C-alpha cells in the first residue's frame, strides 16, 4: 500500500510540474527558478517532454505485455507529457522555427533596419563583426559586450558611417554595450538609459525628428543574479512601454514567455521567426532561447521583415529587423 501511494505521489508531482510549464507567466512563475530557465527554451523542453512521454508509454506497454494490472499511472503520465510536449512544440511552430539569413533587397523609403548582436567580448573578431555590418547595412546596430576601443575600430573599418554611444551599467567597463547610429538618420545626442547592471545606453535625435533609440543588455537569470535580472527586465520593458516612438534592441536575456516581455506595450520586431533560438549557438536553432530582440512602439513602427544570422566566435546569433514608419 505504501508503495502504491508513493507511486501516485510521483505521478501527481510529474503531472503538476509538466502542466505548470505550459504558461508560467500567467501564474506569476516565469521570473523565478526553475521556470525562468525552463520556459526560455520551449523547443528543448518540448523535446524532453516528448522523449519522457515515449519512455512512459513504452513502460506502459511492457507492463501490459507482462499481464500485470493495467498501468494507470503510466498511462496518465504518458498522456500528460505527450499533450504538454505537443503544446510547447506548437508554440514554437506558431512563432516561426526558421528564419532568413538576411533582409530582402529593396529597402523602402523611410524604413529603418536595426541589428542586435552580442559579440561575447573578444569572442567574435572585429573582422567578423565588420563583415556582418557590411552585409546587413543597418541604420542602427546594438552590440552588447563590445568594448569602446573595439567599437571604434569596428566603425573605422565598416562601410557605413556611424556615431557611437556607449553604455556601461553598474558593473562598469567589464560588460559594455555599443550603440551605433548611422549618420543618415541625422544627428543624435546621448540620453541616460535605465540603471541596469549591464550596459544600457540611449540616444535621441538632436532636432527631435526621428526615433528614440536604446541599446540594452539585462543581467542573466542565474542563481543569485535572479533579483537583478528581474529588476533589469522590469526597467527596460517599462521604459519601452513609456517612450513614444521608441526602438529598443539588444540582449534581453528573456523571451516572450517571461511576464515583463509579454506585458510591455512594445511589440517584437521579428516577422515569422520568433521561435528561432538566438542563444546558445551550440544548440540547433529550434531548441535554443530567443533572447535577442528588437522591440518597438507599435503606434509608430510596423515590422516588415527580419532575419537571424550567424557570426563566428559568439555564443549568440544576431538578429536584424526592418521597420516601416506608420503613416
Take residue 15 and report the three cell numbers written for it: 503531472
pLDDT for 61-71, tens place per residue?
A: 887 766 555 67
Same domain, 166 and 247: yes
Residue 138 has what DSSP assignment? -
**Per-residue pLDDT at 209:** 84
Domain hosting 65: range is 2-95
Q: Where are the alpha helices (DSSP H) in the chain?
A: 2-20, 35-40, 42-65, 72-95, 126-136, 148-157, 226-241, 259-263
- Domain-located, residue 101: no
Boundary of a domain, candidates 65, 95, 125: 95
CATH number assigned to the domain comprising residue 289: 3.60.10.10
Boundary of a domain, candidates 33, 61, 95: 95
Same domain, 79 and 136: no
Which of 219, 211, 291 lies closest to 248 in space, CA to CA? 211
- Give residue for cell 542563481: 223
Same domain, 201 and 292: yes
**Per-residue pLDDT at 103:** 93
Segments in the chain below pLDDT 70 = 1-5, 65-70, 171-174
pLDDT for 107-160, tens place per residue?
A: 999 999 999 999 999 999 999 999 999 999 999 999 999 999 999 999 999 998
DSSP character string of 153-169: HHHHHSSS-EEEEEE--
Same domain, 84 and 179: no
Which of 37, 34, 35, 84 lies closest to 56 in space, CA to CA? 84
Say how many C-beta atoms besides its own lie within 10 A of residue 134's C-beta.
12
d(CA 177, CA 198): 8
**Per-residue pLDDT at 59:** 86
Same domain, 219 and 77: no
d(CA 174, CA 147): 8
Residue 120 has what DSSP assignment? T
- Domain-located, residue 104: no
Amino acid at each position: 500500500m505504501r508503495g502504491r501511494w508513493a507511486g501516485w505521489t510521483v505521478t501527481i508531482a510529474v503531472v503538476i510540474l509538466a502542466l505548470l510549464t505550459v504558461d508560467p507567466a500567467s501564474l506569476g512563475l516565469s521570473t523565478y527558478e526553475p521556470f525562468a530557465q525552463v520556459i526560455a527554451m520551449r523547443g528543448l523542453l518540448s523535446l524532453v517532454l516528448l522523449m519522457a512521454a515515449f519512455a512512459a508509454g513504452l513502460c506502459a506497454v511492457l507492463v501490459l505485455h507482462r499481464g500485470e494490472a493495467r498501468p494507470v499511472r503510466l498511462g496518465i503520465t504518458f498522456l500528460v507529457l505527450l499533450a504538454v510536449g505537443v503544446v510547447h512544440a506548437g508554440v514554437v511552430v506558431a512563432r516561426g522555427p526558421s528564419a532568413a539569413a538576411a533582409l530582402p533587397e529593396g529597402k523602402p523609403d523611410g524604413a529603418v533596419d536595426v541589428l542586435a548582436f552580442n559579440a561575447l567580448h573578444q569572442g567574435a573578431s572585429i573582422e567578423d563583426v565588420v563583415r556582418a555590418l557590411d552585409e546587413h547595412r543597418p541604420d542602427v546596430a546594438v552590440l552588447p559586450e563590445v568594448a569602446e576601443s573595439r567599437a571604434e575600430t569596428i566603425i573605422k573599418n565598416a562601410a557605413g558611417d556611424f556615431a557611437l554611444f556607449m553604455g556601461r551599467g553598474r558593473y562598469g567597463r567589464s560588460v559594455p554595450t555599443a550603440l551605433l547610429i548611422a549618420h543618415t538618420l541625422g544627428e543624435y545626442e546621448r540620453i541616460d538609459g535605465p540603471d541596469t547592471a549591464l550596459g544600457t545606453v540611449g540616444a535621441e535625435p538632436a532636432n527631435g525628428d526621428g526615433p528614440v533609440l536604446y541599446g540594452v543588455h539585462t543581467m542573466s537569470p542565474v542563481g543569485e543574479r535572479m533579483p537583478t535580472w528581474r529588476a533589469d527586465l522590469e526597467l527596460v520593458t517599462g521604459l519601452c512601454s513609456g517612450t513614444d516612438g521608441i526602438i529598443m534592441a539588444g540582449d534581453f536575456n528573456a523571451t516572450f514567455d517571461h511576464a515583463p516581455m509579454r506585458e510591455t506595450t512594445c511589440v517584437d520586431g521579428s516577422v515569422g521567426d520568433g521561435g528561432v533560438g538566438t542563444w546558445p549557438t551550440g544548440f540547433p536553432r529550434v531548441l535554443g532561447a530567443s533572447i535577442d530582440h528588437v522591440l518597438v512602439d507599435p503606434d509608430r513602427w510596423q515590422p516588415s521583415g527580419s532575419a537571424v544570422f550567424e557570426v563566428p566566435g559568439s555564443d549568440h546569433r544576431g538578429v536584424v529587423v526592418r521597420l516601416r514608419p506608420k503613416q
